[in-house]
Amino acid sequence: MNTLKTLLLMAFLSIILIFLGGTFGGQNGATIAFIFSLGMNLFSYWFSDKIVLKMYGAQEVSQNSNLYRIVQRLVINADLPMPKVYLINQRQPNAFATGRNPKHAAVACTSGLLEILDENELSGVIGHELAHIKNRDILIGTIASSIAGAITYMSNIARWGAIFSGRDDEDNNGGTLVLAIIAPIAAMFVQLSISRTREYKADEIGAQISGHPLFLANALRKLEMWSTNVFMDASPSTAHMFIVNPLKGNKLASLFSTHPSTDDRIKRLEKLSEKY
């Protein structure tokens, strides 16, 4: 169901882009905007692991560490290559996965995560991150960002064109201006919905990898409490990568969260646990 929802949302984003292309710049305009946005996002996709790990000062852990051992055990369950494993020196308990494909992947956990979770809960979190790698969610996010970026790029051009085109056709310019404002907002919410859908999917697959849905459910309860009260020095541009929104302490940033409600995620996991 989550996979179908993702496909429908991606299709809706594409329809918005095609419609804008026909309205503002024709087929060539939409194509140029998409290629421009795709190029920017492909650069980010290809080098995302190096960029984000350096951004947070992540340090690769020893193969003798407990964290490495847990990841090593779970990649067997997930049928994945062994990713690189990193530790981030931040008090807020959190984690993310990155990398352009399963052969070039990394899992990073904060020091705060290791302090508050037991081994089962930590397995639940790692299982979730391995699910993102297995589902190629970074690639899906890159495609969605490229389409949404093209929509925003075209809308900006159309908006400024309508503002400075003069008074000869005020009704037409007014309609263009409204559409140019609404379209990128709609694209942003569709993109957020795609991200939230992938989180649900990663929870479900991650439960299978870790061995039980309640491992992650119990971890999410702790993470929700700590992330609200312990500040993390995180960039909004990378917030979608973490297992829980690292900006929960920032009420303005949390309005546009890429994550579904933690309570809702826990309820879904608890319902899923009835089958175990």
Measure the CA–CA gap between 6 and 108, rounded to whole angstroms: 26
> Between the CA atoms of 104, 71, 133 and 263, what dihedral angle is there, to the nearest 10 degrees?
-150
Query: Counting beta carbons within 10 angstroms of the beta carbon of residue 85, is it exposed (0 to 12), middle (13 to 18) or buried (19 or more)?
Result: buried
Q: Report angle CA 210, 214, 217 to the nearest 5 degrees.
A: 105
Measure the CA–CA gap between 181 and 147, rounded to whole angstroms: 16
Residue 96, H or E segment: strand 95-101
- Under 8 Å between Cβ of 80 and 60: no
Catalytic residues: 129
> Between the CA atoms of 257, 218, 62 and 45, what dihedral angle is there, to the nearest 10 degrees?
-20
Token reading at 91: 């008090």
CB atoms within 10 A of CB 1: 9
Q: 166: left (phi > 0), else alpha (psi -120 to 50), else beta?
A: left
